[in-house]
Structure 1
Amino acid sequence: MAQEPRSREPLKRLSLHEAVTDRLREMVLEGELPPGSRIPEMRLCDEFGVSRTPLREALKVLANEGLVRLLPNRGAVVAEVTLAEVADLFEVMVGLEDLSGRLLAERVSDDGIAEIRTLHERMVSHHDARERTEYFHVNQQIHHRLTEIAGNTVLLDLYDNLSVKVRRARYLANLQEGRWDESLAEHERILDALTRRDAGELSREMSEHMRHTGDAVLQGLREIMTETAQTG
């Protein structure tokens, strides 16, 4: 069932370009602007309270991120999601997690471990309260901080660029409750390996966690595509 559009306040003029980009990105990632749909530029300008210039600049950023396609003289559309692209995406992400785990074990400080533990405990609280949105927000924070603490800026740039697409695919797949519980258990093992600074185990747990997430996302997308084909 499609979500009701959220009420939105007009954007402030401070950092207008970034604000428009962030808001438009959220609409794509959360499915408010579904794959294949045309971007309604005039309506969004009215909704955001901006001119077409910052909106079009935002569309260029999202095009570079692979979230929208710019059509010459025909505006922009939300990029489609294909199973092949998602499979390729997670294949790369698994490799990045493996490298991140090895670097983390060598470079993480006691304060870094304590920070990840605090975030993990917050994530567990959201899981126990079945607060899915809040859970995934902290989940993203953890993965970003783990990659950041690994201390390789090229790795972090790659991770951040690709994680936008991961987030979109995971949202579209609407993962089952069982995968949510499995994911938390995997995070427990990641935290344990991090605490012990076990490079082999940490890289293995992090890459397997990403592999399992990719498998679940692909399965969810297959089911949705099959159902859409049968009803369409």
Structure 2
Amino acid sequence: MDGSTFAIARLTLPEAAAERLRTLIIEGELAPGARLNERELSERLGVSRTPLREAFRMLAADGLLVQLPNRGAQVVALSRDDVRHAFEVMAALEGLSGELAAARVTGQDVEELQTLQAEMEQAHERHDLPTYYRVNRAIHERINGIAGNPILTQTFKTLNTRLHALRFRSNLVRAKWDQAVAEHRQMIEALAVRDGAGLRDILIRHLKAKRQAVLESMIAGSGDAAVPNA
């Protein structure tokens, strides 16, 4: 499957279109501040404008798009202050997730995470950032799920949805990507020995590094609206 097609399975047309658009935003093909051309996207995704507009509404509800009266939809562009504030909260949420997960993790959970970690490292070795990011995302969501707190999970998902694109792009510099891989190894090791305080600290440090990478990218792009999707 290439970037211009999207297999629709077990999803409604609007849901399928929304998932494909989400990927295009996360991977930077639809950049922050970009206006969405309904005709082009309708042809690219193979759907009519009615389900496409519903997909726009779904992504606007997730905070990824803004719908402009009589002007269509536009990809949200976060300011530097938005990034600082969002990552501060996400670091706290991830740290709490890690602390709770360490107290509730099972041996099977650890094995599943180790499998994901191995898959993620293989993607890193072959420089496959899209696959790496999908597995990376699954690891963070799995740790959050193990924490077993539905309110925490909902808050985590709501905020993380807005940060997916920024987190993806934070690995574009190879040294920072290598650092992230090493930090993930430390996460799984801490979880395996149920070191809640250690896992919390690693996750907070990991998110602070992501925030710094994103801010450096924004500064290099000279301006808030020039944020590349990470």
TM-score (normalised: structure 1)? 0.88
SS in structure 1 of the partner of residue 101 of structure 2: helix
Instruction: Confirm whether residue 65 of structure 1 aligns to residue 73 of structure 2.
Output: no
* Count of paired positions: 224
Match of 2:125 in 1: 128
Instruction: Confirm whether residue 90 of structure 1 aligns to residue 87 of structure 2.
Output: yes
Match of 1:205 in 2: 202
Q: CA deviation at 1:85?
A: 0.8
Between stretches 185-194 and 23-32, larger displacement belongs to 23-32
List alignment gaps of at least 5 residues for structure 1: none
SS in structure 1 of the partner of residue 222 of structure 2: helix
Match of 1:178 in 2: 175
Distance 1:65 1:92 in 2: 17
CA contact (8 A) 2:170 2:210 kept: no
Match of 1:100 in 2: 97
Q: CA deviation at 1:162?
A: 2.0
Q: CA deviation at 1:112?
A: 0.5
The 5 A counterparts of 1:1-80 are 6-8=3-5, 15-80=12-77
Return the index of the structure with the highest Cα Rg. 1
Q: CA deviation at 1:9?
A: 5.2
Match of 1:151 in 2: 148
Identity across aligned pairs (percent)? 39
Distance 1:67 1:120 in 2: 28
CA contact (8 A) 2:171 2:177 kept: no
Q: CA deviation at 1:138?
A: 1.2
Q: CA deviation at 1:156?
A: 1.5
Q: CA deviation at 1:61?
A: 1.2
Q: CA deviation at 1:77?
A: 1.5
In structure 2, the CA distance between the partners of 1:184 and 1:14, relative to structure 1 (3 Å rule), is: closer
SS in structure 1 of the partner of residue 114 of structure 2: helix
SS in structure 2 of the partner of residue 62 of structure 1: helix
In structure 2, the CA distance between the partners of 1:34 and 1:114, relative to structure 1 (3 Å rule), is: same
CA contact (8 A) 1:175 1:217 kept: no
Q: CA deviation at 1:175?
A: 3.2
Distance 1:191 1:153 in 2: 22
Q: Deviations over 1:12-61 (max 9, x none)?
A: 79521210111122222222222222211122223323222211111111
Instruction: Confirm whether residue 193 of structure 1 aligns to residue 183 of structure 2.
Output: no
Distance 1:87 1:188 in 2: 25
CA contact (8 A) 2:114 2:188 kept: yes
In structure 2, the CA distance between the partners of 1:153 and 1:196, relative to structure 1 (3 Å rule), is: same
CA contact (8 A) 2:95 2:201 kept: yes
List alignment gaps of at least 5 residues for structure 2: none
Bigger relative CO (Cα 8 Å, ≥ 6 apart): 2
Provide the alpha-carbon RMSD of the alignment.
2.2
Tell me which of 201, 204, 218 is aligned to 1:221.
218
Match of 1:114 in 2: 111
Distance 1:99 1:141 in 2: 17
Q: CA deviation at 1:132?
A: 2.5
Between stretches 87-96 and 7-16, larger displacement belongs to 7-16
SS in structure 1 of the partner of residue 103 of structure 2: helix
